Structure 1
Amino acid sequence: MESTPIIDVDPFDLPEWLGVREVVWHADQGLRSGHLVAGRIVAGDDVLGCDLLAVDEAYPAPVTDDDSRLRTHQAWRHGQVLLGRYGDRLVLAVPGTGFDADRVLDTLARLARAVGGSPDNMAALLRIGAERQTRR
């Protein structure tokens, strides 16, 4: 089975507001949903789809190719996060097989630095469950 590679995205190709305004990453799924957590970054009326991808999940098949995993681990080791396209979505790729609150916050702080912003301008709205809850 062929795995999906991560195509690098230059942080400076992202919208400027990402580095200068207060933004909130909203989880559209619970952190327990697995190696890929769908989400979006919101600042006022501006919205950017942005998922979190843990690249080391390998069962039943690797989630990405070896080169993408290597680049992800190298970026993380140097205090950065790999920004890329995974399929048709923007992702923040991190080492590991899943997410907890600390990993999400660390990832967002690295994103802030990548776009020339301050981690103090980043916030996260997390979901705990394994599936997205519908509003009633």
Structure 2
Amino acid sequence: MSTAPAPLRELDPFDLPDWLGTGEVTWASRSGLRAGHLVVGMLHPAAHPAADGPVVDCDLLAVDAAYPVPVVGEPDRTRTHQAWHRGEVYLVAREDRLTLAIPGTGFDADLVLDALGRLARAVGASPERYSACLRLGGGPRRTP
């Protein structure tokens, strides 16, 4: 018997660090885009490598993945789709990590950039001040 996923805790963008809205920011993935419904990453000021400056753990979660079990419950899935429809992103805490809940079952570069642009607007920054460093691995192995 499966249990329902724990509800996600919604975050207010104003509770995030101020530097996310005032300077150049880079999001760097720590797992490949093809890894599945969760891409682990972090935000840091673009002028400082992550080791030298502040860091915010920030993951991407594709909420429509449902096999072998749903990733999120129906209320969180609905809130994610509603926010996306309004041109926003649903900001949540998952295991004490900032997480951008995104419609879909996986990620490509365009979707990641769209999500980061929505995050930038949520914290009052211009999307042009955000950049992304993507890892491509994690997909199924293909043989020639």
TM range (shorter): over 0.9
Structure 1: gaps (5+ residues) = 132-136
Instruction: Please give the root-mean-square deviation of Cα atoms over the aligned residues, in Å.
Output: 1.0
Question: 2:44 aligns to what?
Answer: 42
Whether 2:136 is the aligned partner of 1:128: answer: yes
Q: Which residue of 2 aligns with 1:27?
A: 29
Bigger radius of gyration: 2
Matching residue's letter, 2:24: E
Task: Name the structure where strand makes up a greater proportion of residues.
Answer: 1
* Residue of structure 2 aligned with 1:51, choices 43, 51, 59: 59
Q: Secondary structure at the match of 1:50?
A: strand
Compare 60-69 and 81-90 and name the one that shifted more: 81-90
User: Counterparts of 1:4 and 1:58 in 2: how far apart (Å)?
Assistant: 14
Question: Residue type of the partner of 1:66?
Answer: E
Deviation at 1:90, TM superposition (A): 1.2
The match for 1:134 is: none
Query: Deviations along 1:64-107, whole A, 9 cap, x unmatched?
Result: 11000000000000000000011222100000000000000000
Runs (4+) of structure 1 exceeding 2 A deviation are none
State the alpha-carbon separation in 1 of the partners of residues 82 and 40 from structure 2. Answer: 23
Residue number among 57, 82, 85 corresponding to 1:77 in the alignment: 85
Q: Deviations over 1:17-55 (max 9, x none)?
A: 000110100000000000000000011211100000000
2:18 match: 16
Q: How many residues align?
A: 131
Q: After TM superposition, give the deviation of residue 111 of structure 1 in Å.
A: 0.3
Residue aligned with 2:77, SS = helix
Task: Tell me the distance in 2 between the aligned counterparts of 1:12 and 1:29.
Answer: 27
Q: Which runs of 5+ in 2 are unaligned?
A: 140-144
Instruction: Give the Cα–Cα distance (whole angstroms) in 1 for the partners of residues 29 and 85 of structure 2.
Output: 25
Q: Percent identity?
A: 56
1:60 aligns with 2:62: no
User: Is the Cα–Cα contact under 8 Å of residues 82 and 92 in structure 1 kept in the other structure?
Assistant: yes
SS at match of 1:106: helix
Secondary structure at 1:127 match in 2: coil
From 112, 115, 127, give the equivalent of 2:120.
Answer: 112
The separation in 2 between residues aligned to 1:87 and 1:56, in whole angstroms, is 19
